[in-house]
Chain A
């Protein structure tokens, strides 16, 4: 347990250290994040109609990004396999980057799916035991498993 706290503390220390360009970049990303949150709260208020998707094209940018990032995450995870198979140091270093990319891509995936569904308050319906996942039949339930 102390290990985890130490790790978090160490990461926070790394995170808050940086030059002027670093903070400029972080604040730029922060502005992007805040604008995204504002846009999503707007969408929560008015419904998905704001996205200009309609019945004929019911999946748009959100799902497109989701599938793309799933691919990115899968590819990044794949970097781990050669690292374990060949025990070669340079690949292990790249695998670390790959893992980080995979984690961030997965987080974005989950955010995109949550933003896309019409009733995010019912997301528990997808979970086993809490809800009723249509498991072997629906491909989307497999996605949740992943």
Chain B
């Protein structure tokens, strides 16, 4: 069951991995979703150069940016990504001309960085979703089984829901998404893996096209996780694996104080 992952500028990741400081714990004000991307590397380069060369720092920052060999022909969107220090692209993806060789293609920063820990954050499928409340056209709603879904054919792209979501789980199609015809999986769900148009908001749907099948499949992230860190199941069934885990492990709810009542729980592998 292919997910019809489209490519676009900037890339959309339904699951963002946030880098937290071990000292401050899970504090979203300190979270960095752009660690190891061109933005954070630019910053680091700039600050290190600044510290080396004192007042010439700002000039060398420009030089450092120019040092990335820009491809000759760039679409305006690509150009905007290169020029935009807020770009969410890893450095090795921005550079379209360079063929990544085994050594060169590696990102220049290594994770985990000392003193940091990493938490993947996707849509929390809230029981009380703030994003649904603010939609001016009722293009998003909570389905009876709890999945918060978006009608891509009705969304006007005002991005109010993105402003409302406390988890940053919603993403906007800033440019034209594309998917080669041979990669397209024609088995789609209206609210799930069908191709999304430009200018609408999308987010994690718990892989609605898989989980709502009969017999159901796990969401793609649960199936692909190499260490089995993700579990998926029926919260209403007391015998389900997910309820067993919630009864026996230490469970964390992100931004519990907001009363959004997420149906996405983080548990600690060990009970220590």
Residue of B at shortest CB range from A44?
Answer: B199
Contacting chain B: which of A10-18, A77-85, A132-140? A132-140
Give complex CA distance A16, B49 in Å. 59
Known A47-B174, A118-B173, A119-B200: A138·B134 in contact at CB below 8 Å: yes
Instruction: Give min CB distance, A84 to chain B, whole Å.
Output: 33
Give complex CA distance A118, B176 in Å. 11
**A57 interfacial contact with B, CB 8 Å:** yes
Instruction: Give min CB distance, B89 to chain A, whole Å.
Output: 11
Known A118-B159, A118-B199, A137-B133: A54·B175 in contact at CB below 8 Å: no
**A36 interfacial contact with B, CB 8 Å:** no
Instruction: Give min CB distance, B9 to chain A, whole Å.
Output: 6
Instruction: Give min CB distance, A42 to chain B, whole Å.
Output: 8
Q: Is there contact, CB below 8 Å, between A133 and B174?
A: no
Known A48-B199, A49-B174, A54-B10: A132·B77 in contact at CB below 8 Å: no
Q: Is there contact, CB below 8 Å, between A52 and B84?
A: yes
Give complex CA distance A122, B200 in Å. 11
Q: Is there contact, CB below 8 Å, between B139 and A125?
A: yes
Q: Is there contact, CB below 8 Å, between B138 and A132?
A: yes
Chain A residues with Cβ under 8 A from B88's Cβ? 54-55
Chain B residues with Cβ under 8 A from A55's Cβ? 10, 12, 88, 162, 168, 170-172
Residue-by-residue, is A108-127 near B (CB-CB < 8 Å gives 1, otherwise 0)? 00000000111100110110
**A141 interfacial contact with B, CB 8 Å:** yes
Instruction: Give min CB distance, A8 to chain B, whole Å.
Output: 33
Residue-by-residue, is A27-69 near B (CB-CB < 8 Å gives 1, otherwise 0)? 0000000000000001000111110111111110000000000
Give complex CA distance A138, B156 in Å. 14
Chain B residues with Cβ under 8 A from A54's Cβ? 10, 84, 86-88, 174
Known A46-B77, A47-B77: A138·B198 in contact at CB below 8 Å: no
**B33 interfacial contact with A, CB 8 Å:** yes
**A144 interfacial contact with B, CB 8 Å:** yes
Instruction: Give min CB distance, B98 to chain A, whole Å.
Output: 23
Q: Is there contact, CB below 8 Å, between B86 and A132?
A: no
**A71 interfacial contact with B, CB 8 Å:** no
Chain B residues with Cβ under 8 A from A48's Cβ? 157, 172, 174-175, 199
Chain B residues with Cβ under 8 A from A125's Cβ? 137, 139, 154, 156
Chain B residues with Cβ under 8 A from A139's Cβ? 134
Q: Is there contact, CB below 8 Å, between A56 and B133?
A: no
Give complex CA distance A117, B156 in Å. 6
Residues of B in contact with A (beta carbons under 8 Å apart): 9-10, 12, 33, 75-77, 80, 83-84, 86-88, 133-139, 154-160, 162-163, 168, 170-176, 197-201
